[in-house]
Amino acid sequence: MKNNAFIPPVIKSREYLLSKLRIQKNSIPITKTETTYNLAQQTRWLSNDNFAVGRWDGTMSIFNYSSEPFTGPKLTAAVNSPSSGGVQMITYIPPRMIVTSNNDSSLSIWITSSDDWSDLKLEDIKTYDNSLDVATNGSWFPCEYDNDTSTLVVGHNSGFLSIWSVNHHHKDIHFIKKIDLRNPKPVNPFDSHAMYGMCILKEIGPDARILCGSDDGYISVVNIHSGDILSQTIFNSEAQRGINSVSVSGNKLLVANCSVGIYDKNLWYFDINLETNEIFYQDSMNLLVDNNRIQSFNFDVEWGEYSGGPCWFAGTEEGILWMGRANAKLDLVGYEALSESSIGAALAFINKPGRLAAAIHNIDQFSTGSP
């Protein structure tokens, strides 16, 4: 059964654990009727100079990368209502098109005529069967030849993928197929299959592949043209929570999740056999400052680059930005506080030059020093 009570997963997990502790609360004689979350859920680069942030309150803002302090958004658009799950998916389709989540049965297409996205407008709403539920992530695959249609892959709250063809001339998308990636035995206690993690494993060709990480614990590799499921692996057989984010660099995979207790881990490192699509464990660590916390939710992980070479970034529930390297094992470089708010950041990295955007309530922008 589809659950339309959309609560940010970090809060859902924390409230579940607190309910088990049976903490005595001193109530006050008023009734809370609603909570609207304005937390960032997704950050995506649109160019080397502009990035978009989608929030749980249903808004999407576009920012210009700036070295100046206290700069606001270029524009903010009301995409949907919080009851529709907010803006969990933002997928850029070159040169001037964005597809976002809308509600449990549609996607929104946005276009601009300018390079700075200042005149962004809603072009169309594309419907689909509501059994797929809200879109939670997306990736765009370019076409192999100039006159071909390209491909949009969308992950859904239901644990399904949907595959769409993209007509660039008409700025339109068309549904092709859906693929069931659900784990019959979810690692989480919520029976959630939401497809929060998604990244391209091979971009072009008949064997173009997507790698997906689900809240039910599955890492799935799928051929986007045939729809064949090439492999499915539970990232941690002892996991109590599922996958929040995945990031791939070559054959190296990083997985972010929520750790429960100080002995659990919230960052996992794997090798991928690109011939067989098998996933092999390499290392893991728990990104946590306060060991007294009941959980440490790793909200997002991104491969990146800095002046010292390849690296990774992660944003955790304590409002911390972590940085490290990964070779044979994970190596922590350090961390710093992003915000007083104890919620993880939605991250996005772009190279040439190296820039990192981190969004919680506020937006933090970094130059990483890579060329």
pLDDT tens digits, 313-331: 999 999 999 999 999 999 9
Enumerate residues 6+ apart whose C-beta is below 8 A from 148.
Answer: none
Phi, psi (rounded to 5 degrees) for 176: -110, -55
Query: Residue 142: its pLDDT value, please?
Result: 96
DSSP helix, strand, coil percent of the chain (3-state; round to 5): 5, 50, 45
Interval 37-47 mean pLDDT: 92
pTM given for the model = 0.92
Query: Residue 82: its pLDDT value, please?
Result: 76
Computed from CA positions of residues 294, 299, 302, 305, in that sequence, does the dihedral angle turn out positive or negative?
A: negative
Q: Return the residue matching tokens 């043209």.
A: 225
222 and 269 Cβ atoms separated by less than 8 Å: no
pLDDT at 275 over 60: yes
Cβ atoms within 10 Å, residue 130: 13
d(CA 21, CA 2): 28
Computed from CA positions of residues 190, 222, 212, 238, in that sequence, does the dihedral angle turn out positive or negative?
A: positive
Tell me 84's DSSP state.
G
Token pair for 346: 């939605």
Interval 227-256 mean pLDDT: 98
| 3-class SS of residue 268 | strand
Sorting pLDDT into bands at 50, 70 and 90, what band is 261?
confident
Between 285 and 168, whose confidence is greater?
Answer: 285
Q: Which amino acid is at 36?
A: T
d(CA 81, CA 128): 18
80 and 102 Cβ atoms separated by less than 8 Å: yes
* Residue 3: C-alpha distances to residues 7, 79, 157, 242 (Å): 10, 21, 9, 17
Pairing of strands 252-260, 295-306: antiparallel
* Residue 83: C-alpha distances to residues 6, 77, 87, 103, 358 (Å): 7, 16, 11, 9, 25
Residues in the chain: 371
Return the C-alpha torsion angle 156, 162, 168, 171, nearest 10. -60
Query: Residue 349: its pLDDT value, please?
Result: 98
* Residue 40: C-alpha distances to residues 19, 59, 114, 189, 326 (Å): 25, 9, 25, 24, 27
Cβ atoms within 10 Å, residue 57: 17
Sorting pLDDT into bands at 50, 70 and 90, what band is 1?
very low
Cβ atoms within 10 Å, residue 119: 11
Q: What is the DSSP string of 24-52?
A: -----S----------EEEEEESSSSEEE
Query: Residue 105: its pLDDT value, please?
Result: 97
Pairing of strands 160-167, 197-202: unpaired
How many degrees, rounded to 5, is the angle at CA 238 between CA 224 and CA 314?
65
Alpha helices in the chain (DSSP H): 9-21
Cis peptide before 69 (omega within 30 of 0): no
Q: Where do the domains of the chain lie, and which CATH numbers do they carry?
A: 9-19+32-367 (2.130.10.10)
pLDDT at 283 over 80: yes
